[in-house]
A and B are shown apart, each in its own frame.
Chain A
Amino acid sequence: MGTLAAHGLRKSFGKVQALDGVTLDVPDGSFFVVLGPSGAGKTTTLRAIAGLEKLDAGSVHLDGRDATGDAPAARDLAMVFQSYALYPRHTVYENIASPLRARRCSSSEIAAAVEQMSSLLHIERLLQRRPAQLSGGEMQRVALARALVRRPRAFLMDEPLTNLDLKLRVEMRTELTRIHRSIGATFVYVTNDQVEALSMADQVAVLKEGQVQQVGTPTEVYERPANQWVAGFVGSPPISLLACRAEGDRLVGAEGWTLPRPRWTTAEDGRPLLLGLRSEDLSVEQRGSASLSGELYGLEPLGDRTVVDVRVGTEILKVKARPTVTGTPGERLLVTVDLDRAHLFDADTGLSLSEAGR
């Protein structure tokens, strides 16, 4: 079993409100990702769940039992720290063995478990080294091994892949997903990388300034962002946001353009709105019923695709196009909009107005 519930976590450091009522419900066996920019309170959230941070308010329930006041050792959780926190004076073997030694396992049990872990993570060669003699990727594997060497209630991982180079990061992403599937344990995984979140998670909680913005599957968070901020944070290139308002059956842009009003929105006439358009829902190559006119601002070739920057008035639209697309800056363009996949947000509250009717 490994359900984990944090309710109304609040924690301040001096004037900084690191956690401002964070609530998370992590189902048993899920790969639960907490996504947010640096400083959002992700580490503090994990530390609170682990019992390393004294909370101002809120509760932590583990398998339905209140564990808010429990010592870290009593919670039966394992954690991979952002800094790895490998014991510098101990060998890799001793580092991995530490959780088992704390639980007074016999040395034959320890040897077997360490061996199994080290072959799983391909670090057999490193067992007699000390952390200072390891590369970043190796340290990260050792930190993972130390966490995975026993079967705790849940694993907490604080940006374990952030310090790795891109190639290793992509490899480890697959590896971690595989490990999660094979042991079927609960993972709470913290990252600031939305690609990691979308590719690995069963559930994503998006965190900003100590507040949960949205919880959902990766698809939900991407397709139906709860507010303008989530829409902007998740997705690359970032979503384009155009100021506008609804007038009858039309959307009128602040820059003078008009589009048909989408059927699905509940926005009242005249309210300031933001129209959110993802790059893949825009096209400069196809013709459609709804379009915006602008001029070519720049091209970003990315290999498999090219992002075309189109200027509409003073605002820039990022449009996904085939890698073969060409053009000269300043050239007039018509951008076709897939309004069925567009998003509308209240410009004042930032909240999505797309929910109803979809």
Chain B
Amino acid sequence: MAVSVDEAVSTGPARDHTAPARRPGGRGRSVLEVALLTVLAVVMLFPVLWMIETSIKENRDVYAIPAKLFDFTVTLEHYKDVFVASDGGRSALSVSFLNSVVVAGASTVLATVLGVPAAWAYSRFAVKAKKDQLFFILSTRFMPPVVVVIPIFLMYRQVGLIDNKLGLILIYTAFNVPFTIWMMKGFVDEVPAEYEDAAMLDGYTRLQAFWRYTLPLLVPGIAATAVFALIFSWNEFVFATFLTSSDSVRTAPPAIAGLIGGTTTDWGLVAAASVVFALPVLVFAYLVRKHLIAGVTLGAVRR
């Protein structure tokens, strides 16, 4: 999990890495720098490596003492167990993955559809007490989820949204809309309002002008913002744990957490499930990495 977030966030610093190339001498990184980066990489990546190893080790090797780093027997049993139940049907874990896809996908789409036009409006129009409104919108994110979850739980119980995917979609959307508005407002600010003015004089309405000439310029920003929203919803643990209980509704984070504990823990299964869980976001962040960088450096690139 931490991996995918790092992947997404590291695009900022990635841009800074180009700067040292202009150092006097310009002969690449110093030995010390390489050594430090190597240490950092090992420390950061070892748990990931260990997770991947565990997911492909036979159970015997998983519990072996001393731990086997290289000479273990490779098996894909654990991965099969993630998707297929012991009776041959679909496993509870695979259902939870599907739930995660639905919940994260739907809440991201909703947050984008609601947040982008709102960001545009905040950027383009004279809104009364704009700064206060924007601060209020952001302040909804200050509260730690554990603080909010009890009242939400009580309210959801009243309206029958407990143990319901729609409930999770709504709460994730509510969390992602403020983030989307804030991040997208920055992107909209970067697009000169005069394109829309020109389009309106051409004969388009304000909305047509936005749709035809501003929206296409926002695509990189929307992609970047949506990835962050998706990662938030995909990773979310607290609300998912409190608000859902049945296997058919639960998302992957509480489902994977549920594997740990009891008398014995099948670490191979936990590791395999974690790898499968981390993979989509990793791949997604990788696919849109150009947009992510374009997004983070938009101002620098375009001016």
Contacts and interface: CB of A to CB of B under 8 A. Distances in A.
B199 interface: yes
B203 A83 contact: no
B202 A99 contact: yes
B200 A72 contact: yes
Contacts of A85: 192, 194-195, 197-198
A79 B217 contact: no
B192 A99 contact: no
Main secondary structure, interface of B, reads: helix
B213 interface: yes
Interface residues of B, number: 18
Contacts of B198: 79, 81, 85-87, 98, 146
A146 B39 CA distance: 59
B127 to A, nearest CB: 13
Contact of B201 (A78, A86, A88, A101): A78
Interface string A82-94: 0101111100000
B203 A73 contact: yes
B192 A79 contact: no
A315 to B, nearest CB: 44
Interface string A52-84: 101000000000000000011100011101010
Interface in B94-137: 126
Interface string A34-58: 0000000000000100111010000
Nearest to B126: A54
Interface in B7-55: none
A50 B201 contact: yes
Nearest to A152: B201
A297 to B, nearest CB: 44
Nearest to B219: A89
A15 interface: no
A46 B199 CA distance: 16
Given A88-B217, A89-B217, A102 B203 contact: yes
A117 B126 CA distance: 37
Given A83-B192, A83-B194, A85-B194, A73 B216 contact: no
A102 B204 contact: yes
B205 interface: yes
A338 B216 CA distance: 64
A71 B205 contact: yes
Contacts of A146: 198, 202
Contacts of B217: 88-89
Given A89-B216, A98-B202, A99-B203, A72 B195 contact: no
A47 B198 CA distance: 11
Given A87-B213, A88-B217, A89-B216, A103 B195 contact: no
Contacts of B199: 87, 98, 102
Contacts of B216: 89
Contacts of B205: 71, 73
A52 B200 contact: yes
A16 to B, nearest CB: 14
Contacts of A101: 202
Nearest to A101: B202
A15 to B, nearest CB: 15
Listed residue (A51, A72, A89) with the most chain B CB atoms within 10 angstroms of its CB: A72
Contacts of A102: 199, 202-204, 208
Interface string B158-202: 000000000000000000000000000000000010110111111
Contacts of B203: 73, 99, 102-103
Nearest to B204: A102
Contacts of A103: 203
A56 B216 CA distance: 33
Nearest to B199: A98
Nearest to A103: B203
Interface string A153-168: 0000000000000000
Contacts of B213: 87, 89
Interface in A128-146: 146
Given A87-B213, A88-B217, A89-B216, A73 B201 contact: yes
A73 B194 contact: no
A71 B209 CA distance: 13
Contacts of A89: 213, 216-217
B11 to A, nearest CB: 23
A79 B195 contact: no
A247 to B, nearest CB: 56
A43 to B, nearest CB: 11
Interface in A88-135: 88-89, 98-99, 101-103
Interface of A: 47, 50-52, 54, 71-73, 77-79, 81, 83, 85-89, 98-99, 101-103, 146
24 contacts: A51-B200, A52-B201, A54-B126, A72-B200, A73-B200, A73-B202, A73-B203, A78-B201, A79-B197, A85-B195, A86-B198, A87-B198, A87-B199, A87-B213, A89-B216, A89-B217, A98-B198, A99-B201, A102-B199, A102-B202, A102-B204, A102-B208, A146-B198, A146-B202
Given A85-B198, A87-B199, 12 more contacts: A52-B197, A54-B126, A73-B200, A73-B205, A77-B201, A79-B197, A87-B195, A87-B198, A87-B213, A99-B202, A102-B199, A102-B208
